[in-house]
Amino acid sequence: MTGKKPMKRDKQVFEELALPLLDSMFRTALRVLRNEKSAEDLVQDALLKAFKNFHQFETGTNFKAWIFTILMNAFRNQYRKAQLEPKSIDVETVSMFYAAHGDDMFSTVDRGNVNFTSLLSDEVKRELETLPPEFREVVILSMVEDFTYQEISDMLSIPMGTVMSRLFRGRQLLKQRLADYAQSMGYIKRNSAV
């Protein structure tokens, strides 16, 4: 199968599978790159790589997970190495997050009176984009694109425990920031009593 080029009939099948995913590919690329032009270039790069290797896609498996793996690989290979991304914090230090925080792990962001439904799209996007890159990737792939932990683990080549800890910490950071924003804007529930 190695080196097999896509046949004519494959292009139509590929387009039927891939083009409906352009929206989610682009928004993911945009969130991790924070630049529209770069995001479009990344999507095109991933799209062409996926097309070239379409014969390797196993029918019956999750196409979205497959093409997102290519997208995230393209991002890592081209953009991370070019150091377009700011240096992130050592997220591995949060791998023991659950154990370290115990019962208090939700306390820092337990803002029961915050009305998150009033959040504005731009603010959510801005806060997503300013998360540390490793957190940002897993948060977007899980919370926005609905990939499973296993799929994200395969996609990013990191252990599933790391996916979970990054996702946990990323969520907490995002929630804290958005809660601060929501409170500053006065998005408070009228009846916050439990």
- Site residues (vs other proteins, CB under 8 A): 4-8, 11, 14-17, 19-24, 26-27, 30-31, 36, 40, 43-44, 47-48, 51-52, 60-65, 98, 102-103, 105-106, 110-112, 114, 116-117, 119-121, 123-125, 128, 140, 142-144, 146-151, 164, 167-168, 171, 174-175, 178, 194
Give the DSSP per-residue string, 72-92: HHHIIIIIITTT-SPPPP-GG
**CB 3 to other proteins: min, Å:** 11
Comparison of 116 and 188: residue with beta carbon closer to other proteins:
116
Comparison of 79 and 178: residue with beta carbon closer to other proteins:
178
Comparison of 50 and 85: residue with beta carbon closer to other proteins:
50
Q: Do the beta carbons of residue 33 and residue 79 sit within 8 Å?
A: yes
**CB 83 to other proteins: min, Å:** 25
CA distances from 164 to 23, 98, 167, 168 (A): 26, 10, 5, 6
**CB 190 to other proteins: min, Å:** 15
Both structure tokens of 71: 């997208």
State how far the Cα of 162 lies from the Cα of 165, in Å rounded to an integer.
5
**CB 137 to other proteins: min, Å:** 13
CA torsion 159-165-166-167 (nearest 10°) is 110
**CB 128 to other proteins: min, Å:** 6
- The residue among 98, 21, 191, 189 whose CA lies nearest residue 29 is 21
Comparison of 95 and 119: residue with beta carbon closer to other proteins:
119
Compute how many other C-beta atoms are within 10 angstroms of the C-beta atom of residue 117: 8
Comparison of 6 and 133: residue with beta carbon closer to other proteins:
6
